Structure 1
């Protein structure tokens, strides 16, 4: 039996927050037969249950980096996509996945929430204060934050005015953070963002 597996968009499974307006799709074939080769495929993108774009049936064995070429994608929107494949034995198989777009060029509307930080004084073996962490260090000549208090817990209550089917959260910070909603993490990321960044730059992970 022919199967379509490992469906990916922008090399990710069901990604949230893709930035490309021309995302690329990839998939793999799996079969209990030998010498199976893809002969044709068709990609259909849906938005809100309606067809948003369709590639038409393409005669090709390619299944990697197939680009989207439909109308402009909307920001912060979930799209489903379906791949149909026909092989050289006349069998057909299909698979479905999804992706959520980023903010694209939407302006950032948010306020910084900043915890109170206090210098923690380090002491030597005799109990004498030898340095104050978090303030100007005379020996190093820079601000030293190595001895700050444990990570701060920030809690921001909000009220939903209407019943929500799906919530998208754009969140960022100077450094890493762990996001929870009513004590539950929205995905399996332990800390975000996953990538390091310069001191004058922040990354906006999107949670769904």
Structure 2
């Protein structure tokens, strides 16, 4: 664990005491995407553990915003592998050169709170529920399987183009690969093979497309 991340351990412990058992608190060390979680409190919320990989949101932020000055993303929705919706925030840990080297993440489970609210609102028919979470606005998938994370992201981007890979033109495939590159998916080992399988292309072809896009 690098020096910049180590100092956040005590902060995570503090937040764990303050926020209680309904909030998962974890720290990512981004020197190894495939086993980035180095510290976790209340891991039962997402069923993740130390040694599990980076999430799609952190990966995408690394690719798109890592050279900027944004320090955190707050109050967004995430989803566990079981489909449970969480309320999340992420603080990005930077080194002296402003490079993102880690992340401190909070994921709160309001499932029981919503059940209680549903009961209370049934007694107050004029009360309007503002909806704590929305399934249509998921920013992050909390998945402990890096291959599953990769496949989910590939499928999501391909689905945005609303055309099956076998009927895609060269330009459309270029757009798909560019979108995947922009969200950092090619930083995950094995992703080129998965993209090649999904787009019905060879791995060397994928590398040529990536090189062309970067140029």
TM-score by length of 2: 0.23
Greater fraction of residues in strand: 1
Larger radius of gyration: 1
Structure 1 or 2: more helix by fraction: 2
Structure 1 length normalisation: TM-score?
Answer: 0.24
**Greater relative contact order (Cα 8 A, min sep 6): structure 1 or 2?**
2
